Amino acid sequence: LSSKSSGKWISAIEGSILVASDQQVVTGISILISGFTQLKSGISSYHWQSVVNLAWLSSVTHLVTLTSLRRQARDNSPFRWWRIIAMGIMAGMLIVAIYPVGYLTSGSDIPYSFPAWCLYQPNLNWYNSDSGYQLLSAYNNFYIALVLSILLGTYIQRVFTLFTSKGRSLAIVLHLCV
């Protein structure tokens, strides 16, 4: 291929990645908003965990696309600020959404049919009369610490990558710390 046609291919691929990145940010935020609005309506804890997992997948996909868009993001200030704001919104919402999932990953036989809003009120004694045990008795601290450190570490790494020309070395250092 000539350099002119390879440049067109590179531009087309970068454009496709940019569209996928935008789509994943909007999708992740939308999934979380729809999940949060359903908490008081009685969304089950099983479905809440599915919502959180889908948003997590959307967030990770967005972060992967940013890896290939580093150069473009550094050269385009509005693009960079849009990404930082969208990433911050999604990260904040994910932190709030992921925290109570630690009750569901504790390894105990918790039924997934109880309302997800119970996860946000663990100090109340949610007792299931059918099975005869407390629903929220254990919390998986290791799982939540691991998930949150991966999430926050990767987000911080991508922000440094978007803002610094030496973002690669900072990203490697941050990756090793997390």
Compute how many other C-beta atoms are within 10 angstroms of the C-beta atom of residue 168.
12
pLDDT at 172: 53
> Residue 167: what pLDDT?
45
Q: What is the rounded distance in angstroms from the CA atom of residue 99 to the CA atom of residue 111?
A: 18
Could you list the mean pLDDT of each consecutive 10-residue stretch along the chain, which spans 178 residues?
A: 75 81 91 94 88 91 77 66 85 90 67 75 62 59 87 83 59 53
User: Which pairs with CB-CB distance under 8 Å and at least 24 residues apart come from 59-63?
Assistant: 59/24, 59/28, 59/90, 59/91, 59/94, 59/151, 60/154, 61/20, 61/24, 62/21, 62/24, 62/25, 62/28, 62/87, 62/90, 63/154, 63/155, 63/158
Rounded distance between C-alpha atoms, residue 18 and residue 71, angstroms: 12
